[in-house]
Chain A
Amino acid sequence: MNVQELLNRFREVAACPRAQMENYLKSGKKVVLTAPVYTPEEIIHSMGAVPFGAWGADIELNESKKYFPAFICSIMQSLLEIGIKGGYRGASAIVIPSLCDSLKVIGQNWKYAVPSIPFIPMTYPQNRKPDFGVAFTKAGYERVISDLGKATGLTFDDAALGSSIEVYNAHNAAMRELVGVLAAHPEVTNAQRSDIFKSAFFMLKEEHTELVRALIDALGAAEAGPAKTPIMTTGIIADAAGLTGILDDCGLQIVCDDVAAESRQYATDTPAEGETNLDRLALKFRNMDNCSVLYDQEKNRCKKIAADAKAAGAKGVLVILTKFCDPEEFDYPLIKKACDAEGIPVTVIEVDRQMVNYEQARTAIETFRDIL
């Protein structure tokens, strides 16, 4: 496939997750939903099921309002809405980690709102670095394995986990490499870039890696398009067509990101150390850093954003703040300080999954472009 064909394929998958899910179900695979963030997909994959990203969608909310007050983030609200309306029918279970308050409450609501799809909690420690934190992570994984066994009838094998870890590490590496390759190809739009990341949620990682590797090769043989203004994005999600379209209209190019649904999840590989493969996976969580939902006394994430923007040649940082996302909202003032200290312009726009009118964001982004 050439570059355009590959980009079309990513688009197809990103735009129609339900079709992807149906295909997997038809092929006899079990599908397990994975809510944000850092759900241990490797475990699900190793047991032979398809981990299927469940980050909500840009839809109107009706049914979820019976469960959530208005001030819970729209990722959770829309995730529940899809569940209630049957959009995930056929899924064997949903695994939800508990890394923020909205994630804690959706699990409780899910049990009553979507009783047909079992809720499997993944309780992570915030004190994840010391040995006692690693032990607690491992206990959480063991509970997930036990619940997955009940929900799917599939069994766990540590050697199989080792193979899945290799699949995931290879995917991480491909996604990290891709970011650099895309930065050198401004002709790939921000909307297309978003499709590549989003499609990863709805494909087996080995299949996605194959497509990404093909794209990297195809772009390597292609001539780079005319330069645009390079920027960095940060936030939880940045997949709204209304938003990426404005960035493209304004001649801005995302050259690196700290978006949870994009690069942030691919930053840490599972290490080689560890007695068993499950131990290795627990150590992966120990090694994770630079994320708004992971305890970070030094606020290193904020400094890292400024450093990454500088290293990638971004002329500014666009903070895409998901409305009602506490962890991100607390970090914003410190991100701004860190970027100010490095002389990097910062603009914040608020987004949620109910936005239909992006004109206010357009004005802010146009002003941002003019500053740059």
Chain B
Amino acid sequence: MAETTTKPRRQPPDPNSAKYKLGKIADDAYASAAAAKARGEMIGWCASNFPVEIPETLGLAVVYPENQAAGIAARGGGVTMCEEAESEGYSNDICAYARISLAYAKLKEAPVEPNVPMPDFVLCCNNICNCMIKWYENLSKELNIPMFIIDIPFNPDYEVSEAQIAYVRAQFWDVIHGLEKLTGKKWSDEKYKEVMEISGRTSRAWLAATACAKYTPSPFNGFDLLNHMAVMVTARGKKEAAEAMEILLKEYEQNHVEGKSTFRAEEKYRIMFEGIACWPWLRVTSTGLKGRGINMVTTIYADAFGFVYKDFDDMCRAYCNVPNAINLEHARDKRVKLCKDNSVEGLLVHTNRSCKLWSGFMPEMSRQIGEACDIPVVSFDGDQADARNFSEAQYDTRVQGLTEIMDTRKEAK
């Protein structure tokens, strides 16, 4: 008779924990959009780096197709949806988030959660890539709904020019007035001030929490950041998000004091992970590190979504300074700082087939980071949402290589 094994039952998360609260905020975003739709309100689909201050101040419910695509991919539905888009003529070279989203726009349902209500308008911002424009143009056309765009051009210079601030500021007001006209909602300076303050509070807590990686061992597993950043992207203007991030910070500080960590293994090596997560292979990529005692203590997300600004122009500047909108030198320096602040010993780069912009100058930038920080750099091929573009064997070999170099360096010290 075969032996039977009982899987240990997972403890339900503590409702007072940051993890529970942050998960709930992310889930509530979908629920509140569905509720708004049911009430007959207009709802939007919104690009992840679109200024959340606008829909938040106007009181518009929005959902985020990138988050939805990541969720669908993480639950195993990415390839089915990608193939659906490909059957419509979309090349399999196109960003997998876009393919999943365009398939969803056609089918209006996915084989796995999250399902989202259909939009009445789309809000596009291209400060992460111009692919967003093409994707949202097609959504707008296929669904026959208006598109609002804030074009934030890639900045070839280190500092944001006054001309760019003026261009972005004018577009903010253009979109705000357009949304007022379409939805009947009204902009309130008072409400905006409140949102700005909350967003600053959330951001400060997030930056402080992620900076806890300065402790050795780190009080958290860096993969936590990949989950929590969804709240930073979509809900940092909400009071609940600020409160949850402050709890997260408290928990990390407490972990440090008690010598605990959400990284459930001995932290032998500390690395920075570069790129979007391989959502369909999250467990594989995570355990491939954990099994070797490698903690991914930081990513550019730690810095990217901390929007702290003092006024409207400064907010425009903050949106011009997100990671994929800045030049190589600026992008490199942000990463070098994270590596140095957090005692990083190696850089693992995800060459993400879905993201031409993120990967397009990564070889040169990662060489420069490696030199500046005197750390080894290893890359692997993957994709944020198309499971077909990842090889577990290649990943394992590359991570093993990185481990051996870090090991040799440790011994030499």
Q: Give the interface of A toward B (CB within 8 A).
A: 66-69, 71-72, 98-102, 104-109, 111-113, 121, 123-127, 130, 132-133, 135-136, 139-140, 292-293, 295-299, 321, 323-324, 326-327, 329-334, 336, 348
Cβ-defined partner of B154 (8 Å) among A71, A104, A329, A334: A104
Q: How far is the CB of B165 from chain A (nearest CB, A)?
A: 10
Cβ-defined partner of B360 (8 Å) among A104, A111, A132: A104
Q: How far is the CB of A73 from chain B (nearest CB, A)?
A: 9
Q: Mark B82-101, 1 if CB is under 8 A from A, else 0.
A: 00000011110111001000
Q: Which B residues are in CB contact (< 8 Å) with A333? A: 88-90, 138
Distance of A104 Cα from B327 Cα, bound (Å):
9
Contact B151 A295 (CB under 8 A): yes
Question: Is B267 on the interface with A (CB-CB < 8 A)?
Answer: no
If the complex has contacts A299-B141, A326-B95, are A124 and B166 also in contact, measured as CB distance less than 8 A?
Answer: no
Q: How far is the CB of A157 from chain B (nearest CB, A)?
A: 22
Question: Is B285 on the interface with A (CB-CB < 8 A)?
Answer: no
Size of B's binding interface in residues, CB under 8 A: 48
Q: Which A residues are in CB contact (< 8 Å) with B151? A: 125-127, 295
Distance of A125 Cα from B150 Cα, bound (Å):
10
Looking at B20-28, B230-238, B351-359, B391-399, the stretch in contact with chain A turns out to be B351-359
Question: Is B155 on the interface with A (CB-CB < 8 A)?
Answer: yes
If the complex has contacts A67-B361, A68-B360, A101-B356, are A136 and B130 also in contact, measured as CB distance less than 8 A?
Answer: no
Most chain A beta-carbon neighbours within 10 Å: one of B91, B150, B359, B365:
B91
Most chain B beta-carbon neighbours within 10 Å: one of A69, A113, A123, A321:
A69
Contact B130 A135 (CB under 8 A): no
If the complex has contacts A102-B360, A104-B154, A299-B141, are A126 and B133 also in contact, measured as CB distance less than 8 A?
Answer: yes
Q: Mark B132-157, 1 if CB is under 8 A from A, else 0.
A: 01110110110000010111011110
Cβ-defined partner of A125 (8 Å) among B131, B153, B161, B360: B153
Known: A123-B155, A327-B130, A330-B134. 12 other contacts (CB 8 A): A68-B363, A98-B153, A101-B356, A109-B364, A126-B149, A136-B164, A136-B167, A139-B163, A299-B137, A299-B141, A326-B130, A334-B138
If the complex has contacts A126-B126, A132-B167, A326-B94, are A104 and B89 also in contact, measured as CB distance less than 8 A?
Answer: no
If the complex has contacts A101-B130, A105-B360, are A330 and B137 also in contact, measured as CB distance less than 8 A?
Answer: yes
Q: Which B residues are in CB contact (< 8 Å) with A67? A: 361, 363-364
Question: Is B362 on the interface with A (CB-CB < 8 A)?
Answer: yes
Rank and list the top 3 A-B pairs by shortest CB-CB distance, nearest first: A105-B360, A132-B170, A330-B134
Cβ-defined partner of B131 (8 Å) among A99, A101, A108, A331: A101
Q: Which B residues are in CB contact (< 8 Å) with A107? A: 156
Distance of A329 Cα from B130 Cα, bound (Å):
13
Cβ-defined partner of A295 (8 Å) among B98, B133, B138, B167: B133
Distance of A201 Cα from B386 Cα, bound (Å):
39
Q: Which B residues are in CB contact (< 8 Å) with A104? A: 130, 154, 357, 360
Q: Which B residues are in CB contact (< 8 Å) with A299? A: 137-138, 141
Q: Which A residues are in CB contact (< 8 Å) with B140? A: 297
Q: Which B residues are in CB contact (< 8 Å) with A292? A: 134
Q: Which A residues are in CB contact (< 8 Å) with B141? A: 297-299, 334
Question: Is B322 on the interface with A (CB-CB < 8 A)?
Answer: no
Q: How far is the CB of A205 from chain B (nearest CB, A)?
A: 27
Q: How far is the CB of A112 from chain B (nearest CB, A)?
A: 5
Q: How far is the CB of A143 from chain B (nearest CB, A)?
A: 8
Nearest B residue to A335, CB-CB: B89
Distance of A106 Cα from B357 Cα, bound (Å):
10
Question: Is B159 on the interface with A (CB-CB < 8 A)?
Answer: no
Contact A326 B170 (CB under 8 A): no
Q: Which B residues are in CB contact (< 8 Å) with A72? A: 356, 360
Distance of A111 Cα from B364 Cα, bound (Å):
10
Q: Which B residues are in CB contact (< 8 Å) with A126? A: 126, 130, 133, 149, 151, 153
Pull 19 A–B residue pairs with CB atoms less than 8 Å apart, ordered by A: A67-B361, A67-B363, A67-B364, A101-B131, A105-B361, A109-B360, A112-B364, A123-B153, A126-B130, A132-B171, A133-B167, A136-B164, A292-B134, A295-B137, A295-B151, A296-B137, A324-B93, A326-B356, A329-B91
